[in-house]
Structure formats: structure tokens, C-alpha cells
Structure 1
Amino acid sequence: MPATILFILKALEGRGAERMVTTLASAYVKMGHSVHILCLENTQDMSLGAGIHYHVVPYDKVFFPQDLAPSSTQSADYRTVAQRIDNYVLSQIGTPDLILANIYKINWIMAYSQLPNIVNVLHTALSKQFQNQLSDAPIQTLKHLQMVYGAHPCSCVSEGARKDLLSLLGAVTQTTTIYNPCDMINIKTKAEQTRDIEQLGLIKNNYIIHVASFDTMKGHLDLLQAYSKTERKMPLVLVGKGKLEADSKQLARQLGISDCVRFLGFQSNPYPLIASAALMVLTSKFEGFGYVIVEAQALSVPVISTDCPFGPRELLPAKNLIPVDDIDGLAMLIDQVINDRAQYVVPLNQQLLPHHIAKQYLAFGTKLVR
């Protein structure tokens, strides 16, 4: 029997969580379900597949402060937006059989929702995401997070992230681990789209690629320092945008490697660039999953990563991992891979294909309403 599936996001930005949502949404459409994506901002960096209904319920930019101790006025704002979402969903969509609330700010809002069948999807590890707040105001922060994540069942994108949740907050709700889906067919199709990499000064199978938003947790500065210590047989290509892009460019100049590093900005379709790379590198300080790892695996591209909490070690063997902050070790590993690429190709786990993951979410949601 067809189900009504609703995904809720802040916006359709081009990050891992949003890629997970669009991939899973397309899988549900193929399975014959009614699929809706609701956002609070009309920012759309990503295209949606046929059959996916797109909705925007604006929150009027009245809140989302960084403070984890919302005043009564701020709490009222959150409740107002949650009520606005509830009213819109019930009048325009009906009662969904499954609601997947993605990203912390959405989880916070939906803690006040009266809609049924809500599952919070955690894309990262809470102890890392809120490390500073937990240090500065531990009791206040824990109370707030227990409220947010105790409101609805939680699905975590890695077992490490789930254990982190339980360790931090206790058994405040039902939890499960469901990995992010990887649409191998779609990725390969997009990778085949024409892209003249030579115009970018690149040669097929002769560059290293890193795809991530320029954010502290993604480790761009560590990567640049490590790359400067390599033999630099191949250029380094950085795909993404973000607040630390200027700092990264400055560091590249300071290290004297600007002529070897290409900053290509955000790419709506990075797959031709990934497919033509000699090596994919992930240098995150922490991850919930590590989406680019499975994307590289889908394209049979060698991939290495920092052994950060919590996703990469569940996707890669030990030889493909290097400790976080080990700049010299990362440099050595990059050179090793460049000299023996075949040894670092890791096949994609077929259980990560979208229809498998889609069924797991439905099974978890069905179990909850019994």
C-alpha cells in the first residue's frame, strides 16, 4: 500500500544531509509512494527528481540563534513555526505515514510539533557538534538536547553516532542506525555527463580531490598542510564553498602551493570531477557518516580518510584511515596511494543502495506506530 513520506529540511543546500534526502526521496517515488520535501527556506542548490513534491513554509528569519538556552519568547517562536508546519502539512499533504526531520535546527522545531510518525535523523555526532556548548554550559546544554531528541525517535546515520547519542543523553528515546543511501546508478549517470576537465587545467586520473563545504570540521587547513609535505606529483582540487575558503586560499599561498591547488567552488554535479580523480581524500575532524566516501566507492575511485568519529571506520578498512591531526601521516598516506592506487579502491557495500535504506526507514517507522 502506498505511503505518504515527508522530509523536512532547512533548505535544499548541496551538503550530505540534503543529498541523502533527495536520494531517499527518489527511491520512495520509484517504490510508488507519495513523497514530499518541505523546507523553511527557498534556497535550492539541488534539483529534485520527478514525482517529488516540493513545499516551502518560511520561518520569516525570526530566530535560530546559537544560544542553547532559548528564552520564553524564543520558545514561543519555535512553537509558532512548528504549528505553522503542522497546519500546512495537514491541510496540503494530509497525515504522513513517515516524517523524517533532518538537521538539528529542524529537530529543535519539530520537538514542538503535534504531527505523528516523526523520526529525527541525526547526520552527525552530538558530542562533537555541541562540544563547545557542552564545555561552557554542560547542564543547560544537556537539558536542551534531551528535550530536542527526547521528543521523537531517532535514526542515526552511523552506529558510532548512535552510541554517541546514547552515551551523551541516555536512553531518552528509541534509536536505530540506518546508513545514508548511495544511488550508484544515478551517480554513475551524472559522472558520465560531459565535463572538459582540461579547461580547468586538470588531467584525467592525475589529480587529488576533496569535496566538502569550507567549514572547520572538514579539515581543509590540515589537508593543505599535509599536501605541502607530499611529493606533489598531482594537483589538489578543492570543491565546495564556505566561510573558511578565504583562509584556505591564504594558507595555500603561505605554504607556497597555490600553483598546485585548484579552488573550484560549489559544483551542483561534482561526479565527473570525482570520477576522473586519482584519489579522493576526506580530512574531517568528525563526521556522522562521510557521504563522499561511498560516492567515491560507487565510482571505483581510491578513497582515504581521517579516522574521525564516527562514520569512516564503518566504511573503510584500517589501511585507508589515518588519525585526525596526523599531518605527516596523512602526507605519507597520500603519497602511498598515488604510487599504488589499486590497493586503496574499496567496493561499495550493496546494502547502501537506496531501496534497501528506504525499506529500513519504513520498517522503523512502522514498528513505532504499532
Structure 2
Amino acid sequence: MTSTNRPIILLILKALEGRGAERMVTTLARAYIEMSYHVHVLCLEKSQDMRLDSRIQYHVVPYNQPLFETESEQADVYKKVAERIDSYVLKNIGTPDLVFANIYKVNWIMAYSQLPNIVNVLHTALSKQFQEELATIPAQTIAHLKIVYGAHPCSCVSEGARQDLLALIGNLNRTTTIYNPCDVNEIQKAADQPLTIEQFGLIDKMYIIHVASFDTMKGHRELLQAYAKTQRKLPLVLVGKGRLEAEMKRLAIELGIDDCVHFLGFQSNPYPFIAAAALLVMTSEFEGFGYVIVEAQALNVPVISTDCPFGPRELLPKKNLVPVGDINALAALINQAIDNLNHYKVPLNQQLLPSHIAKQYLDFAEGVKNDIN
């Protein structure tokens, strides 16, 4: 890093939505603030579900551009967006000592950026994210991903995601695996915020919780089908919003479990709900990491999960995992976990604390600089 008194850290993402990548950004930004860096978060959209530490500078450079059908047309637009970002950053922030580019759309835009010290952060597995395109136009898709992820060094939030990247595009640039940070103190503080779960019809340590946006990859359908096959000793609570929410509500009625399933919508602070749960279940078809797993671990809540590519198997023992799509196995594991909750508690890996993760990024960036020099 540069030798200035207060080096500049810039984290770029599409918007401060309430998902894992955004939680990673807010947590990492706070860690660098504690390390006396100048920290800036720049978004392409103004929508904001998550709060930033008041010491972090927040910027919006709206891209306001339509999506085109052809890659070349979209690339031309994104080149102009990158130019606007570069100009804004250099004028209003300064030359960053480290830039985190989060989420595919930002990765693509920043492939054309002239800013120094950019690291792409991959929050998911590319082979899953681009599964349809790889099946229909594989050569074109791989060539495109080489442009996006060959421009800058890449950090992946799990080793599985990193190996997936290398298998797809080869070793075009320096890569590393750095897990998402888990700020235990902030999570526990947020979990202690006043919230009467009884107002939602819930009883402390007497429900199962699932926290995820209502997208296909999050496995809500399989979860509801499996839950319908359980003994239903505890109600199921679903926290999140998304395009499939109405469909899942209809499915709960069709399965005859709507009296046992609570749809709580998006919660800006889900931690009181997680902390009060008897068990957290994650049923994703794929993940880059599985943020909610470590958040449950930070709150000492038992966790079970699908053994999806690529994060959960790096965070949980085999007994806590079930094959993706196996409805009967998931139902059986839910029943087993409810009957022996302590058996499914897994301590948080202390290497996931924000200070450790923040230093790993600094070390990676320094290593990249040394390679160049």
C-alpha cells in the first residue's frame, strides 16, 4: 500500500441491498475504518436497504443505462460508465490504494477502468451463475468472462468458487480465496436490539428460520416441500423478499402448511430473529460462501444446509449437510436437528473476524504489486 498517513479504500457495488455481498462490503468497510483508513463506498444505484457506518463516505454514480442484447453494445455503454466512475473518483475521492469491485455487473464495468489497485471480488460460482449461457453459447460466454475477470486480480469468497473460476477461464490473473468477514460484536449488538418476536406470533427458541431473498437459487420450493414432510414440531419462519415470494405463499397453501409457515418479508435487521431461532436452515442450490451460516454461528444458533457448491462444505461438518434437491433427506435432517439441536451447533472460525479478513486483502494487494514490480 502507499505510504500516506490515511490510505484510501474504495468499495464499489451496484446498490446497498440486503444480501450477502452487501453485508460483506459494509462489514469490511467498517473494519478498514477501525484501521484508520479513509473508506469510501460507491454505488451505481441509490436504493439502500443497508446502513453504513457514519464514518464511511457514501457516493452514488448512477449508470442509468439500458441493457443491450449484444455484448459489444453493452460493453460500449460500460466503458463510458467506467470513465465516469474514474473521473468521479479521482476528482472527489483521490487515487485509491485499494479498490474492491463487487458483483458481476461492477466487475464488467471496472474491467475498463484505469484506476489502480483494483481487485474483483467474486461472491458466487461463475459456472452456476452463467449455467444457461455456458450450455447454449459456451465459447462466447467463456471469452466474455475472460475479458471481465482477466482484467484485474480476483479474490473469491470460497476455495470452491476460486477453483470454479480457474476451471472456466484458466489462470489469467492472480487469484486468491478470502472468506467473507463476520463481525461478531456488531451481529450480537444488532441481535440485542429491542424486538418483540411475539408480535410476529413467534416464541423464543421455538421456530426454524430461513433467511434469503426469494430467488430460484435459494431453494424455497425444496424447503417448503421438505418441511411438509417433517413432523412440524416447530413453525418455519421465512425472512426475505423477492420475485418468487407470492408463488411460495401459494405453494405453502397447496402443501397444507400455511398455518405453520410465517412470511416476515425483508427485515433490515434480521439478527434478533436469527438469535431467537431454534435452528437455521439454508437450502441454496449454489452459493459463493453462505453468509447466513457464519452469522448463525456468531449467534450460537444450530445450522444445517444443503451441500451446495461451494461455500457450506467449507463452513460446516458433513453431518450438517444434505444433498441439493433431496427433499426426503432434508426433511429427515430437519427432524434430526430439532430433536438434538446442540449436535448441530458449530463454533465460528475466528479467522473470519473482520480484522483478519481486512489484512488478508491488504496482503493480497501488496503481493500483486510486488509481482508487477
One-letter identity of the residue aligned with 1:120? N
1:191-210 to 2 correspondence within 5 Å?
191-210=191-210
State the distance in 2 between where 1:30 and 1:319 align.
37
- Structure 2 unaligned blocks of 5 or more: none
Residues 160-184 of structure 1 show CA distances to partners (whole Å, capped at 9, x for unaligned) of 0000000111111110000000000
Give the TM-score normalised by structure 2: 0.97
SS in 1 for 2:231: coil
Q: CA deviation at 1:207?
A: 0.2
2:331 pairs with 1:327: no
The match for 2:95 is: 95
Alignment identity in percent? Answer: 69
State the distance in 2 between where 1:159 and 1:74 align.
30
One-letter identity of the residue aligned with 1:19? R
Select which of 47, 51, 55 maps to 2:51.
Answer: 47
SS in 1 for 2:176: strand
Residues 297-349 of structure 1 show CA distances to partners (whole Å, capped at 9, x for unaligned) of 00000000000000000000000000001100000000101000000000000
State the distance in 1 between where 2:99 and 2:185 align.
26
**Does structure 2 conserve the Cα–Cα contact (< 8 Å) formed by 1:64 and 1:105?**
no
The match for 1:143 is: 143
- Structure 1 unaligned blocks of 5 or more: none
State the distance in 1 between where 2:40 and 2:272 align.
29
Q: CA deviation at 1:2?
A: 3.0
The match for 2:10 is: 6
State the distance in 1 between where 2:198 and 2:103 align.
37
State the distance in 1 between where 2:342 and 2:67 align.
46
Q: CA deviation at 1:366?
A: 1.4
SS in 2 for 1:36: strand
Residue correspondences, number: 366
State the distance in 1 between where 2:212 and 2:23 align.
13
One-letter identity of the residue aligned with 2:84? R
Q: CA deviation at 1:50?
A: 2.4
Q: CA deviation at 1:223?
A: 0.1
1:35-74 to 2 correspondence within 5 Å?
35-60=39-64, 62-65=65-68, 67=69, 69-71=70-72, 73-74=73-74
Residues 22-79 of structure 1 show CA distances to partners (whole Å, capped at 9, x for unaligned) of 000000000100000000000110010121000000101x1345x5x413x3322111
SS in 1 for 2:238: strand
1:106-185 to 2 correspondence within 5 Å?
106-185=106-185
Residues 89-129 of structure 1 show CA distances to partners (whole Å, capped at 9, x for unaligned) of 00001110000000000000001101110000000000000
Q: CA deviation at 1:369?
A: 1.7
SS in 2 for 1:259: coil
Give the root-mean-square deviation of aligned CA atoms. Answer: 0.8
SS in 2 for 1:55: strand
State the distance in 2 between where 1:301 and 1:3 align.
38
Residues 284-303 of structure 1 show CA distances to partners (whole Å, capped at 9, x for unaligned) of 00000000000000000000
Select which of 23, 33, 58 maps to 1:29.
Answer: 33
Give the TM-score normalised by structure 1: 0.98
1:246-285 to 2 correspondence within 5 Å?
246-285=246-285
One-letter identity of the residue aligned with 2:71? P
One-letter identity of the residue aligned with 1:215? D
Structure 1 ranges of 4+ moved more than 3 A:
none
One-letter identity of the residue aligned with 1:9? L
Q: CA deviation at 1:256?
A: 0.3
The match for 2:226 is: 226
